[in-house]
Structure 1
Amino acid sequence: MVVSAPAGEGGQFVRRVQLPLAEVATGRYPFTLPVVAGLAAWPSGLPLPPGVTFLVGENGSGKSTLVEAMAVACGFNAEGGSQSFRFATRASESSLGDHLRLTWGVRKPRGGFFLRAESYYNVATEIERLDREPGGSLLDAYGGISPHERSHGESFLDLVTHRFRPGGLYLLDEPEAALSVRGCLAVLARMVELAGGGSQFVVATHSPVLLALPGATIYQIDEDGGIAAVDYDQALPVRLTREFLNAPDRYLRHLLSQD
């Protein structure tokens, strides 16, 4: 597959995500996360350009919590899946989604999916259950094979390849968790194809491979909560990975030092 279409050619179903200042000063989780302070600094809302938007930041910055909250605000099941999934195993989502305000564009997505890596096992179980119902045939949309009969990475690729379609809204939380480098490249190529077909993506990630997607917007969440657009070379996962690969011995001496 040739990666050519810039991500900015995708759809723009959600134009902005906003957290009113009155909702912030609770002093309780999730409003203590850096990303909350970052959203509050954008009083008119954080812009979401057409195509693909990545969120990067250290563990605990709140990027995954924001993607999850956006998914809930968009009407997706909190554990993952499409807007028609209504199962629940254990409620672990934050309350942030109840407080976000989304500015929608004129066009509506023709479908969508929330991929939450940590709970995809539960989604796979629900897919199997729905497929067994009369008139189900749900597995056809996932490559014809149950996700439980594929490796974690293979099931993710099946999902992106067969279930994701042009003109959709897709919210992904660290999809690289199940993927090899080659798998990340395959997902990158598919995302470019779908963005060129009018889809919009919002993705929390640590993957320097996915971040290389042409034309994508990268928002970096700093430890103090600042949210700013950065280019590929400035993105934290790219800088740290590149520095480590250029001089692994220097990092290892520091990490493994007995002093």
Structure 2
Amino acid sequence: MSLKKITLLKEKIEDFNSYPFSLPFIQHMDQLDLEYPVTFFVGENGSGKSTLLEGIAYQCGFHTAGGSRQNSYKLDQSESALGNYLRLSWLPKLTNGFFLRAESFYNFATHIDETEKIRSTEYSNYSGKSLHHRSHGESFLTLFTQKFASARGQSIYLLDEPEAALSPARQLSLMRIIKDLSPRSQFIIATHSPILLGYPDAEIISFDQDQLQPIDYQDTDHYQITRRFLENPKRILAELFHDDD
């Protein structure tokens, strides 16, 4: 594990009432220590987990719409609002890695097509064909199994909701990929997936309180709500739709 600490440079923030500095976790954050090769960010929509992950990607030099240090392409709103207010502490410093942003992956795939027109490398890092010529889930897995696996040396991978394109079975495949790569790589993953959160020997950081804090897998809403539903879907649906009777 190489990225040891994320420090928020509060002295540089001029207005805590503007987004994203108005987010509760930023109001209370000084630093976040990372102690595991795999760390998950969890929280409700709008809690700020993707915002922090994007800021980390910015400080790593990765394209904030998705990509690595080698990827450069234009996309509106790809500038991180938080990135300039973070300091990353490394041992050792890593330059290899990738930021996967599910919501803008289409743009990354288009960028790769445009790059291939110039380089003509026959999609050597992507199993020989365009990511657009695969299903969404297949293109994600191609990135994981080909691009990530071919990286040399230690790497850091920042994944923002990778489950968005993956079936439950494919999410299990991603867990296997993480396991295979984790001896020489570090992962920070923002997710809503109760499957991915079950990855063993990982730390889960909750964004649902004012302060960032570790949480046990079984205590996450993702686990508890999913378990309640699977154990008794009729009861949950009856409670959900009771006003319609």
- Note whether the superposition's TM-score is higher than 0.5: yes
- Asked if 1:163 corresponds to 2:153, the answer is no
SS at match of 1:122: helix
Matched-pair contact (CA < 8 Å) for 1:77–1:85: yes
Unaligned runs of 5+ in 1: 1-11
CA deviation profile, 1:211-240 (whole Å, cap 9, x unmatched): 111111111112x42211122211221111
Residue 14 of structure 1 pairs with residue 3 of structure 2: yes
1:162-201 correspondence to structure 2 within 5 Å: 162-165=146-149, 167-196=154-183, 198-201=184-187
Report how many residues are paired. Answer: 240
Q: How many Å apart are 1:108 and its aligned residue? A: 2.9
Question: Which structure is higher in RCO with an 8 Å CA cutoff and minimum separation 6?
Answer: 1
- Aligned position for 2:121: 137
1:118 aligns with 2:103: yes
Of 14, 27, 40 in structure 2, the residue corresponding to residue 37 of structure 1 is 27
Deviations 1:66-94 (A, max 9, x none): 11111011110111011111101212544
1:57 aligns with 2:47: no
Q: Is the 2:98–2:157 Cα contact (8 Å) retained in structure 1?
A: yes
Q: TM-score, normalised by structure 1?
A: 0.87
Distance 1:251 1:225 in 2: 29
Residue 233 of structure 1 corresponds to: 218
Q: How far, CA to CA, are the matches of 1:29 and 1:52 in structure 2?
A: 28
Which residue identity does 2:7 align to in structure 1?
Q
% identical aligned pairs: 44
| CA contact 1:13–1:105 (8 Å) conserved in 2 | yes
Q: How large is the Cα RMSD of the aligned pairs?
A: 1.7
Q: Which amino acid aligns with 1:129?
A: E
Equivalences for 1:79-90 in 2 at 5 Å?
Answer: 79-90=65-76
Unaligned runs of 5+ in 2: none
Query: Aligned in 2, Cα 1:23/1:50: closer, same or farther, shift over 3 Å?
Result: same
Instruction: Return the alpha-carbon distance in structure 2 between the equivalents of residues 106 and 167 of structure 1.
Output: 9
* Cα gap change, 1:60 to 1:138, in 2 (>3 Å): farther
Query: Distance in 1 between the 2:214 and 2:116 partners?
Result: 42
Letter of the 1:84 partner, please give it.
Q
Q: Residue 258 and residue 235 in structure 1: after superposition, are their counterparts in 2 closer, same or farther (change >3 A)?
A: closer
Distance 1:119 1:217 in 2: 26
